[in-house]
Chains A and B, each alone.
Chain A
Amino acid sequence: MNVLDYLKGKAWLTAVLLLLGLVLLPFMVEASLGKSWLRILDFALLYIMLALGLNIVVGYAGLLDLGYVAFYAVGAYCWALLASPHFGLNLPFWVILPTGAAIAGLFGVLLGTPTLRLRGDYLAIVTLGFGEIIRIFLNNLNAPVNITNGPQGITQIEPVTIAGLSLGKTQEIFGITFSSPHLYYYLFLLFVALVVFVCMRLENSRIGRAWVAIREDEMAAAAAGINTRNIKLLAFAMGATFGGLSGGLFASFQGFVSPESFNLMESIMILSMIVLGGMGNIYGVILGALLVTMIPEALRYTGDLQRAVFGEVFIDPADLRMLLFGIALVLMMLLRPAGLLPSKLRRQELAEDAT
């Protein structure tokens, strides 16, 4: 009997197996691929949160945001400033994380307010500018008063500490040794579960329908009684909050932030996760985030491969992997334009365009 057939209709068993798999995954990854892949896995979880946040803005409400990384930066710098020797502060994570997420959400409203009348290309340009403004501010706010420490960034950021247990160090719990990336993996997994839960609830809610309605026909949506201004701002704010949340977690995990981490390329990567996986579909977005984080890392091995086959490295893997990644995206757009796991909505839309 097929295992998959057996699992059908046994939702709780599937859930238990999935949970078990997710709990054991870091052990398997660490044993087979090494510690660096465990860190990549952690980053993949962060990007899932980011992609799901951007998916609210782009996938549901249809507002093309090319400056999303700005909210990631705001969350990261909030953590960095409130828990590092830079200002001599070290607040507990349950204070900093909500603060960072809330401030990022506020920035979302700040970006949303002047762009309410814009759509499509025009909105994309303004949001792109906003992303750059934040990065340039971070780069230059070291004079006259040193707030962000400029291009050098902020170092020695405190890791997350839960009940006296620092996630920044290797810990021994019940006789099992957990490395720092291993501990962060569980923390991130918890937050991903939270974000996924919120997104699922939103999708089939009154607010979720209002977002889609605005995307479809803003005038008809207004005539149906939707406060289009507030509902759009809510999309920006919610997306930004998730961005700020993952930014804070990123800062604590990395121990170091600098403006360099928050350039336009990051925004584009997060957007390609959504587009690749399937805009508007939670599972698609998760798959997209995993692939876009992992494929470029896996392509690093092309260097070893070249050495094994040709005896020397002809093309620097760093150059090659962006090329291969680009080709993969182009092929994807040709073969599956609605994404790997498209939402019902998008599939419909693209089928309509084709006719």
Chain B
Amino acid sequence: MNLLSVQNLCVNYDSIRAVKSISFEVQQGETVCLIGANGAGKTTTLKTLSGLLPAHSGEMMFDGKRLNAMPAYQIAALNLALVPEGRGIFTRMTVLENLLMGAYNRTDRANVQREINDIYALLPRLAERHQQQAGLLSGGEQQMLALARAMLSKPKLLMLDEPSMGLAPIMVQTIYSIIQTIAKQGITILLVEQNVRLALGISQRGYVMEHGEITLSGASQTLADDPAVQAAYLGEL
């Protein structure tokens, strides 16, 4: 069953066409990646799905509801969560306050508190620093916090925008193993990455975006073996 389906989506920045009629879908329970170089329109696509940018034309359906023209806060209420590019944590709020922002639309306080405790057990660095300003955390810890915050909104679909950006290789490994743990819990993930090898490694299917268009799609393993993908993104000639 399609949890998310996008048909002929176009997004413009004034006269610049950033996303040119793309179509793709994400099924319940799978991890799908959207890969491509800088400026391919990946982030624009995610922002449009979150309601942060208006769609010019096309159809976006999530969980049986049409996302077009829906404001961001209503989309968030449908349990579609975005971890934005550059993490988007609230740097001058404490770690705990950041987590509470993830649960902004939830009223089941006891459950939220229990889930926060679970997060602290899983990520002890956040527990140690829960009263500290989030901006004082390292880049990797901030990314963990961003993921944890998104998880507290109980997402049906988790959209991750370049979770590896600006992180040391060892930290990238840690973040990716956390993402895999989340996927194993049955959460559907739409992953946007420039680090193509990593993204194809943890996803079942992938779409390749170039200049605002989807040029290739298929099973992740097939894409990784594709000579064109290898030449363009995996540095193999």
A interface residues (Cβ-Cβ under 8 A, vs B): 206, 209-210, 212-213, 216-217, 219-229, 344-345, 348-349, 352
- Are the CB atoms of A349 and B76 closer together than 8 Å? no
Find chain B residues with CB under 8 A from A220 CB.
84, 88-90
Give 3 nearest A-B pairs by CB, closest first: A225-B76, A220-B88, A222-B72
- Are the CB atoms of A348 and B135 closer together than 8 Å? yes
Give Cα A223 to B155, complex, Å. 12
CB neighbors of A among B74-94 (8 A): 76-77, 81-82, 84, 88-93
Scoring B71, B84, B101, B102 by chain A CB atoms within 10 A of each residue's CB, the highest score goes to: B101
Residue of B nearest to A230 (CB): B73
Scoring A210, A220, A222 by chain B CB atoms within 10 A of each residue's CB, the highest score goes to: A220
**Can you list 16 pairs linking A and B with CB atoms under 8 Å apart?**
A206-B100, A209-B100, A209-B101, A216-B91, A221-B90, A222-B52, A223-B50, A223-B72, A223-B81, A224-B76, A225-B77, A225-B105, A229-B71, A344-B133, A348-B133, A352-B135
- Are the CB atoms of A223 and B92 closer together than 8 Å? no
Give Cα A221 to B100, complex, Å. 12
Residue of A nearest to B52 (CB): A219
At the interface, yes or no: B63 with Cβ under 8 Å from chain A?
A: no
Residue of A nearest to B136 (CB): A348
At the interface, yes or no: B104 with Cβ under 8 Å from chain A?
A: yes
Find chain A residues with CB under 8 A from B203 CB.
none
At the interface, yes or no: B51 with Cβ under 8 Å from chain A?
A: yes
| Extra pairs beyond A210-B101, A219-B88, A223-B84 (15, CB < 8 Å) | A209-B101, A210-B104, A212-B97, A216-B92, A217-B90, A221-B90, A222-B50, A222-B51, A223-B72, A224-B153, A225-B105, A226-B73, A345-B93, A348-B135, A352-B135
At the interface, yes or no: B149 with Cβ under 8 Å from chain A?
A: yes
- Are the CB atoms of B135 and A209 closer together than 8 Å? no
Known: A223-B52, A225-B73, A348-B133. A212 touches B105 (CB 8 A): no
Find chain A residues with CB under 8 A from B51 CB.
222
A312 CB to closest chain B CB, in angstroms? Answer: 53
Give Cα A189 to B133, complex, Å. 35
Give Cα A224 to B92, complex, Å. 16
Residue of A nearest to B53 (CB): A219
**B82 partner, pick from A213, A216, A223, A345, beta carbons under 8 A:** A223
- Are the CB atoms of A348 and B88 closer together than 8 Å? no
- Are the CB atoms of A224 and B52 closer together than 8 Å? no
Find chain B residues with CB under 8 A from A219 CB.
52, 84, 88
- Are the CB atoms of B76 and A212 closer together than 8 Å? no
- Are the CB atoms of A223 and B76 closer together than 8 Å? yes
Contact pattern, B 207-221, Cβ under 8 Å of A = 1, otherwise 0 = 000000000000000
Find chain B residues with CB under 8 A from A216 CB.
90-93
CB neighbors of A among B22-74 (8 A): 50-52, 71-73
A342 CB to closest chain B CB, in angstroms? Answer: 12
Contact pattern, B 79-123, Cβ under 8 Å of A = 1, otherwise 0 = 001101000111111000100111011000000000000000000
Find chain A residues with CB under 8 A from B135 CB.
348, 352
**A222 partner, pick from B73, B81, B100, B149, beta carbons under 8 A:** B73
Give Cα A217 to B149, complex, Å. 15
Give Cα A219 to B73, complex, Å. 10
Known: A219-B52, A348-B92. A224 touches B133 (CB 8 A): no
Residue of A nearest to B94 (CB): A344
Residue of A nearest to B152 (CB): A224
Known: A206-B104, A212-B92, A349-B92. A224 touches B149 (CB 8 A): yes
Contact pattern, B 193-213, Cβ under 8 Å of A = 1, otherwise 0 = 000000000000000000000
Find chain B residues with CB under 8 A from A206 CB.
100, 104
A62 CB to closest chain B CB, in angstroms? Answer: 10
Give Cα A227 to B71, complex, Å. 8
Give Cα A206 to B105, complex, Å. 10
Residue of A nearest to B83 (CB): A223
- Are the CB atoms of A213 and B72 closer together than 8 Å? no
Find chain A residues with CB under 8 A from B89 CB.
217, 220
Residue of A nearest to B81 (CB): A223
Give Cα A224 to B90, complex, Å. 11
Give Cα A345 to B91, complex, Å. 10
A235 CB to closest chain B CB, in angstroms? Answer: 16
Give Cα A221 to B102, complex, Å. 9
Find chain A residues with CB under 8 A from B97 CB.
209, 212
Find chain A residues with CB under 8 A from B101 CB.
209-210, 213, 221, 224, 226
Find chain B residues with CB under 8 A from A352 CB.
135
Residue of A nearest to B46 (CB): A223
**B93 partner, pick from A209, A227, A228, beta carbons under 8 A:** A209
B142 CB to closest chain A CB, in angstroms? Answer: 12
B192 CB to closest chain A CB, in angstroms? Answer: 14
Give Cα A286 to B91, complex, Å. 27
Give Cα A323 to B88, complex, Å. 44
Give Cα A114 to B170, complex, Å. 48
Give Cα A223 to B46, complex, Å. 11
**A225 partner, pick from B52, B90, B91, B153, beta carbons under 8 A:** B153
Known: A213-B93, A217-B88, A220-B90. A226 touches B82 (CB 8 A): no
Give Cα A224 to B81, complex, Å. 7
A174 CB to closest chain B CB, in angstroms? Answer: 49
B22 CB to closest chain A CB, in angstroms? Answer: 21
